[in-house]
Amino acid sequence: MDSAEQLSRHFEESRQRLTALAYRILGNSADAEDAVQDAWVRLSRPGATDVAVVTNLDGWMTTVVSRTCLNKLRARAARPESPTDAAGPELHVRPDQALGPEDQALLAEQVSLALHIVLQSLTPPERLTFVLHDSFGMPFSEIANVLGKSTEATRKLASRARQRVHAVDPAEIETNPASQRSVVNAFFAASRDGDIDTLLTLLHPEITFHADGGATRPAASATIHGPENVTRRAATFAIPDATFQPITLNGSAAVIVRSNHQSVSIMAFVISHGRIAQIYSLLDQLRIEQLVNGIGQARQPSDNGSSQSGPR
């Protein structure tokens, strides 16, 4: 078997592992598959990889895939996505209703949504460092090589990322749908009434708000930290004619926000100890339409008396 055949065979045997790594870094299956394929194009160029002189082929492939993912993260931060891009978290919307035993497992997805919200607030180097070290156990010296930084600087990146990620303990996240919904209802009621004091009591001290404008509204993307800053943002939720359809998104209590019968956003909430620890607000009209269509014909506010000033 020549060097090219050996490399091709080893890469295909490692593809599942490399795709899992890319998915954890990028948070999206399509992006992960693209990153792995891009890495293969780089590795398979004539003269790019001499299997005979690479002492750790798995480590080398991991490094190439990691660098490819880092470039994708930086590209996301530097320019708006094309409307055909799949960038962003994989979202699963379900009607807000009593869950059967087979549906209870979906509540575990709430933790992945919570992690996504935090990862979106990290810089590309912080995100890459956290995933490679804390999730895949890669030594800091190897991550430093991927980033082109010193080992000590890489440790500091991981420390900052870890503080953000662990600000909310996954074990403390509320998974009871009724309890989640109660807090969300109180949040919208206080936002509607301009009740700042109540809003502050509902927000976790380490709250993160992530607005995802995606491809259609890239300028709307933002990450906000802290109760006071999120409270100021909450004033924008008080749209006079807004109606809300309760749903669940990745296991979290969520709503489809409509104005003039048009779906303008989907908001999901992560609850910890009775307070809102994280808010994810999807503003990308293309993805909203896809998700709404995915749960069937959305109920219009006038159907069956469902018009309301806040979720029930």
Q: How far apart are CA 36 and CA 42, in angstroms?
A: 10
- Give pLDDT tens digits for 96-118: 765 555 455 555 555 567 777 78
Q: What is the largest CA-CA distance in the chain?
A: 72
Residue ranges of domains in the chain, CATH in brackets: 1-75 (1.10.1740), 103-166 (1.10.10.10), 172-305 (3.10.450.50)
Q: What is the pTM of this model?
A: 0.70
pLDDT > 70? residue 200: yes
Name the percent of the chain lying above pLDDT 70: 81
Q: How far apart are CA 51 and CA 57, in angstroms?
A: 7
pLDDT at 256: 94
**pLDDT confidence of 229, banded at 50, 70, 90?**
very high
Tokens matching residue 130: 């956290």
Of 74-78, 134-138, 191-195, the range with the lowest mean pLDDT is: 74-78
For CA atoms 89, 92, 95, 100, the dihedral sign is negative
Average pLDDT over residues 154-175: 86
Amino acid found at 166: H
Q: Phi then psi for 225, rounded to 5 degrees?
A: -120, 145
pLDDT at 305: 36
pLDDT at 223: 86
DSSP string, 205-229: EEEEEEEE-TTT-GGG-EEEESHHH
pLDDT > 90? residue 220: no
pLDDT at 50: 66
C-beta separation of 44 from 8 below 8 A: yes
pLDDT at 1: 55
CB count in 10 Å sphere of residue 173: 21
pLDDT at 132: 94
Q: How far apart are CA 16 and CA 62, in angstroms?
A: 12
Average pLDDT over residues 2-26: 88
pLDDT at 107: 55
Q: How far apart are CA 76 and CA 10, in angstroms?
A: 30
Minimal CA–CA distance to 42: which of 21, 14, 61?
Answer: 61
More confident residue, 29 or 170: 29
